[in-house]
């Protein structure tokens, strides 16, 4: 299993990065990305500190570790510059906190994130046709989430992704030890969103593709 959307004590998570990595491995995950909530105030400190841990601890953890950020509640007009700043700052993965129904995310966030070419648009809520279509064109992955609340629109996201050919990934948005769900629940969330078994397997393959893309970028 792979989780490309997790949080540590560097934002609102419960665990230091080393413990998050250990908990994920024990729960059966083979790769994890630490993507703490960020805006202009804390972007570089997150990348510096979590990046240092990933480089030092990664070879010894028995799990593939990656680091990035989840740009959160950033005004849409500022998203492109912060995406660029995150990549320039060393982020291996850039996620944007999408227009979930359970938080007052500013309208236009989904579109700005997709236009900026983020890697994953997290919990995109009631994503519109034009946004899902553009995500497919730009190669932006849309997230199916196991997280309570954010998961309310998983079915809608799945329908839009299927209709427009957008890539889906499934993540936990993990903030603590209990958030690393097992394979059965992970599959159940995907099937509950209306995906077929074949589509679920493709979603898991999409996460493996993103991991391989990060690894290839690191060898250039």
What's the whole-number mean pLDDT along residues 63-79?
98
Alpha-carbon distance of 80 to 66, in angstroms, equals 22
> Taking residues 64-83, what's their average pLDDT?
98
Residues with Cβ within 8 Å of 131's Cβ and at least 6 positions away in sequence, in order, are 110, 111, 114, 124
Q: Say whether pLDDT at 217 is over 90.
A: no
Report the domain count for the chain: 1
Residue in this structure with the two tokens 């990065």, named with its chain if needed: 17
Domain hosting residue 194, numbered range? 2-218
CATH number at residue 9: 3.20.20.140
CA–CA distance, 69 with 38 (Å, rounded to integer): 6
Average pLDDT, the chain: 97
- Residues listed for the chain: 220
Dihedral sign computed on CA atoms, order 196, 167, 43, 28: positive
Which pLDDT belongs to residue 219?
47
- DSSP class of residue 139? T
pLDDT at residue 84 in the model? 98
17: left (phi over 0), alpha (psi -120 to 50) or beta: alpha
What integer is the mean pLDDT of 193-199? 98
> Residue 83, Cβ neighbours under 10 Å: how many?
23
Alpha-carbon span 145 to 178, nearest angstrom: 15
Taking Cα atoms as reference points, which of 13, 5, 11 lies closest to residue 118?
5
- With residue 10 as reference, give the H or E element that holds it: none
């Amino acid at each position: 299993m792979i989780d490309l959307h997790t949080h540590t004590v560097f934002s609102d998570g419960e665990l230091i990065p080393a413990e998050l990595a250990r908990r994920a491995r024990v729960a059966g995950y083979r790769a994890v990305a630490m993507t703490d909530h960020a805006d202009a105030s804390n972007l570089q400190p997150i990348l510096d500190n979590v990046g240092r841990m990933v480089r030092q601890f990664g070879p010894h953890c028995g799990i593939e570790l990656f680091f990035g950020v989840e740009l959160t509640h950033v005004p849409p007009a500022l998203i492109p510059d912060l995406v660029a700043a995150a990549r320039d700052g060393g982020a291996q993965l850039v996620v944007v906190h999408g227009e979930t129904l359970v938080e007052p995310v500013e309208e236009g966030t989904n579109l700005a994130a997709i236009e900026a070419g983020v890697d994953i648009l997290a919990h995109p809520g009631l994503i519109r046709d034009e946004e899902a279509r553009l995500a497919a064109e730009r190669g932006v992955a849309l997230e199916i989430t196991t997280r309570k609340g954010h998961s309310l629109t998983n079915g809608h996201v799945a329908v839009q992704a299927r209709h427009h050919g957008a890539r889906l990934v499934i993540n936990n948005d993990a903030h603590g030890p209990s958030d690393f769900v097992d394979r059965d629940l992970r599959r159940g969330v995907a099937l509950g969103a209306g995906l077929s078994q074949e589509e679920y397997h493709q979603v898991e393959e999409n996460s493996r593709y993103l991991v391989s893309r990060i690894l290839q970028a690191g060898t250039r």
